[in-house]
Amino acid sequence: MPTIALKSLLQARHMHGYSEFVAEYRRHAKALELPVMPEPPTKAHYYKWVAGQVKGLPRGPHCLVLEHMFPGWTVERLFAPSDFGIARVDEPSEELVPGLSAMVLSGLWVTVYRVEDVGCHVDLTRLTAVSGHRVTGQNWPPEPRCEKGHAGYRNEIEAEVSQRHLIGRWRNRRDSYYFGTVHLAVLPGETILDGFYTANAADVAVAAEPWKWMRISESEVGEADLGKLQMKAPEQVYALVQERSRLDPPLGLADITE
């Protein structure tokens, strides 16, 4: 029996189990703000879906949720037999895999990384979609914080979405010297960005370190005046973000600011 597109797309996102699918389904169902919260399929029905053993298409709100989970894919295409398999799903083809919209990444994120001889650096970065595939970012206010009393980097970011990757460059606006690149993978659920930054360690040297981002719940941001907030201790925020997984809900401002 040929593999259906839904199964290939789930595998491409490394979602191999029912519990992972349910967490993703519930998140997208909530985002739709329907009058009645849709319930995910039962475990038995889910496995019939991915095995292509259902007649016709899912009923009720399932279609809406699935199309929200996979932007650009109709439910008819999701349940159609597919001959491109897992490997080709990951290839950069607009026909097979619509790119993730930059709008999905818009919002407030807490980001953490380490700087050599400085330690942990933490900040709140606001990403703004300026087109369907481009975003800009700024990580103040509030003021970014570093360990050991060092001033945080005030970064501006310009980046593009390519498949499920955010690739671009950053520049520190506290001075005219430090700059670099950013490459982050958008994990399933779109609540965590995980990857690396590079920076000019010296005129002829390059540094590279992991960089992790965690989404902040927009419902908790509201009308908050970010300029009046202060990031909690860098080592505390760094540890909190590092222990979070893509199955965890977004953080609240109270988790990372004081």
Q: Does 248 have pLDDT greater than 80?
A: yes
Give the whole-angstrom CA distance, residue 126 versus residue 198.
20
Predicted confidence at residue 203, as pLDDT, reads 84
Give the pairing type, strands 107-115 and 155-162: unpaired
Q: Judge contact between 133 and 160, C-beta under 8 A.
A: yes
Residue 96 located in a structural domain: no
Whether residue 53 sits in one domain with residue 167: no
Question: For the residues 190-206, what does the mean pLDDT come to?
Answer: 93
Of 83-97, 208-222, 231-245, the poorest mean pLDDT is in 83-97
Confidence of residue 143 (pLDDT cuts 50, 70, 90): very high
pLDDT of 10-55, one tens digit each? 887 888 899 999 999 999 999 888 888 999 999 999 999 999 898 8
Question: For the residues 164-173, what does the mean pLDDT come to?
Answer: 94
In which domain, by residue range, is 60 found? 5-89
pTM for this entry: 0.65
Share of the chain above pLDDT 70, in %: 93
Whether residue 133 sits in one domain with residue 199: yes
Q: Into how many domains does the chain fold?
A: 2
Please return the burial class of 226, using the count of CB atoms within 10 Å of its CB with bins 0-12, 13-18 and 19+: middle
Whether residue 85 sits in one domain with residue 109: no
State the amino acid at position 82 in one-letter form.
S
Confidence of residue 119 (pLDDT cuts 50, 70, 90): very high
Confidence of residue 169 (pLDDT cuts 50, 70, 90): very high
Residue 115 located in a structural domain: yes
Mean pLDDT of the chain: 88
Whether residue 48 sits in one domain with residue 135: no
